[in-house]
Amino acid sequence: MNNDILYMQTPDLNKERLIKLKELFPDIFTGEGKLDIEEVKKIVDPQSVTDVEKFEFRWFGKSGAKRLAFTPTKTTLAYDKKRSVNPDDSNGNMIIEGENLEVLKCLLAGYREKIKCIYIDPPYNTGNDFIYSDKWDESKEDYLEHIGVTQDGIKLDTNTEASGRYHSNWLCMMYSRLLVARQLLREDGVIFISIDDNEVHHLRKLCDEVFWQDNFVATICIQANKGGQDYKDIAKTHEYLICYTKYSETELNEIENKEKKLPFNDNIGKFEIRELRNRNPKFGKFNRPNLFFPIYINPNAKNEDGFCLVSLIKNDKYFIESYPYNSEGKESCWRWSKPLIEKNNTEDILTTQVIAKQKNDGNWNIYEKCRKTTSKVKTIWDETNVRTEQGTIELRDLYLKGFFDHPKPVSIIKKCIEIAIQDKDDIILDFFAGSGTTAQAVMELNREDGGNRKFILVQVPELTDEKSEAYKAGYKKISDITIERNKRVIQKIEEETKNNKDLFNSMVTEDKSISNLGFKVYRLAKSNFTRVDFKPDTTKDENENNSLLKNYIQDKEFIHLSMVDEKIVLDEILLKNGFTLNYKIQKLPDFSKNTVYNVVDGYRGCLICIDMNIAEETFKILQEYKDKVFICLEKSLDTSMKWNLTHLFNERLVSF
Ligand SMILES: C[S@@+](CC[C@H](N)C(=O)[O-])C[C@H]1O[C@@H](n2cnc3c(N)ncnc32)[C@H](O)[C@@H]1O
């Protein structure tokens, strides 16, 4: 029933006229269906429109979203020991419960440029998705509640098409997060984003802006549903995976191709042949003159595969001349230089790397013998194990059937990691973690190849639906499912290893210890340094406000800090001073009047003391450590101690 009849009113003619106008002139409407008055003015009074036309991507709220991305956070990450699994074996693996923009900002100091690979699977904006909406002007309490700093979890808003800012809301949400995420990526970092037709076109433009268009690698098409959505006129069977690198020089890995057949054999092993001519039209004699030269062929000594020996020198044996011409007769070039060919060429067909073969038309091609069993990843992924139903099966295998809708198949994320990561020690980040598939992919890959990759997952404490299986089983927040799933993955791997079963077709043997199978859970929390609540008095000048702040720190913050668990305060101070949360801490026995720790995290080191007073004797012992960074609380220093420590450590003294 249409709404006019429902409300017993006459038809809304304004609405009707707008619909007609849109049918006739869709170009004067915004992408979100609103009449664009500026476009109308351009028709009726072009002189009145003075805006400079330029190529840009704009939407409602864009500048606010950018500002928000670069506004500091007043939160921190608090360790949740109870929900952690094998924390002593976590080796940097973390599941963080919290709103991802705030969490990413918290991670920024310690993890800037340390993340090698990001995989995310954000809400696709289908019209029914729950989208977190950032609020820019709310009170402190509302803000903390809003970002999920509450034990009870939060409800996200549904972003419906009727909202009028449907695409803008989604773009704002993604823009600020991607801007911060880019800072976390290493120089050679790679990001993969799952998406579908609802926002793929906007996401490409957004990423072109955030990561820059030259760093676009590919849009991969994944056959998610073989049968297709047949309620549409054309049954849609695919979704997308967008890939960008931080810098265009970054090289991605080929991956092992089990189906690849190497048809030929020589003394070195199996091989296939690959044309030595560079088939890329961007290269040729015109820009690579040194790679354009003749190679001479000995046609009289063919082996059973029809391969002949070659030489760079013409003589009685090697007399057929071959230049790198393309099929149209244009001058291209070789892929190898003369010295490289010399190095790889022998006079024995069973050991040489360069050969020639005659084509059916009588001409000759020069080939390299190629022995690798890897190949470049293609832009269409249609294996059975990337289909959506596979993700559901994987959750069922962990006895979590129906606990989470549409988890991604583990294989998709494994493949992303294999493409992006060379060093098996690197960190993978997923800040739309959902059921936590990314952690499973990382742990499984590590078990398969003995790697030591680490994961950081972020999941907002979004409430599960009261009617859902998960809620009934006691998982009130999606983050509870993220944690539970990966706890079960660990248990499963541990059991399988103990039973000496080769669960993941790996090389795991009975005596191989189970290491790095654990994770720490952190929660987004209000900073322990309550000075973030201090509001300057607008009637006072800067100096007066500074001394008010100092008093505030001495009184309120001091009382608060003395009540908080020491580990939580250490975590916050170290994280904000650029340490990763995977730091190693050791109490130094030579200090008897204060507790002084030595901290290292693989990137940096320091001494830290968070006692409320620093004793004279401590200062004397600290002389032996004067090359280190020393971190302490400002409150612990009286004027003379501050002077002494400043002279001892110079800029390596950090007090706050
Ligand atoms: C499409 S799901 C990801 C599914 C995941 N790839 C898997 O395999 O289970 C997106 C997830 O992002 C979470 N999410 C949405 N907005 C968020 C935010 N602002 N911060 C953190 N998580 C958020 C949602 O709660 C949801 O669990």
Note the pLDDT of residue 602.
87
Note the pLDDT of residue 29.
86
Query: Which tokens in the block code for residue 619?
Result: 């200062």
Note the pLDDT of residue 472.
94
Strand partners, 265: 270
CB 109 within 8 A of CB 656: no
Residues with CB under 6 A from ligand 1: 99-100, 121, 123, 132, 404, 407-408, 432, 434-435, 437, 458-460, 462, 478
For the chain, how long is the longest CA-to-CA vector? 100
Query: Which tokens in the block code for residue 598?
Result: 């030595």
Note the pLDDT of residue 442.
97
Query: Which tokens in the block code for residue 22?
Result: 């849109």
Could you identify the atom of ligand 1 that is nearest to the CA of residue 173?
A: 19
Nearest CA to ligand 1 atom 7: 407
pLDDT tens digit sequence for 92-134: 999 999 999 999 999 999 999 999 999 999 999 988 777 677 6
CB 582 within 8 A of CB 92: yes
Note the pLDDT of residue 258.
79
CB 190 within 8 A of CB 419: yes
Out of 460, 465, 484, 523, give the residue to mutate to test ligand 1, the one with the largest number of ligand atoms within 8 Å of its CB: 460
Residue 625 sits at φ, ψ, to 5 deg, of -115, 25
Note the pLDDT of residue 43.
82
Structural domains for the chain: 3-54 (no CATH), 76-255+389-500+517-524 (3.40.50.150), 264-372 (no CATH), 531-655 (no CATH)
The DSSP secondary-structure symbol of 405 reads S
Of the candidates 339, 297, 344, which has an alpha carbon nearest to the alpha carbon of residue 316?
Answer: 297
CA 440 – ligand 1 centroid, Å? 16
How far, in Å, CA of 101 to CA of 97, rounded? 12
CA 568 – ligand 1 centroid, Å? 26
CA 376 – ligand 1 centroid, Å? 30
Note the pLDDT of residue 15.
83
| DSSP symbols for 473-542 | TT--BHHHHHHHHHHHHHHHHHHHHHTT--TTS----TTS---S--BEEEEEEE-S-GGGG----TTS-H
Residues of the chain with pLDDT under 70: 1-10, 51, 131, 134-151, 162-163, 500-515
Note the pLDDT of residue 141.
59
Nearest CA to ligand 1 atom 17: 460
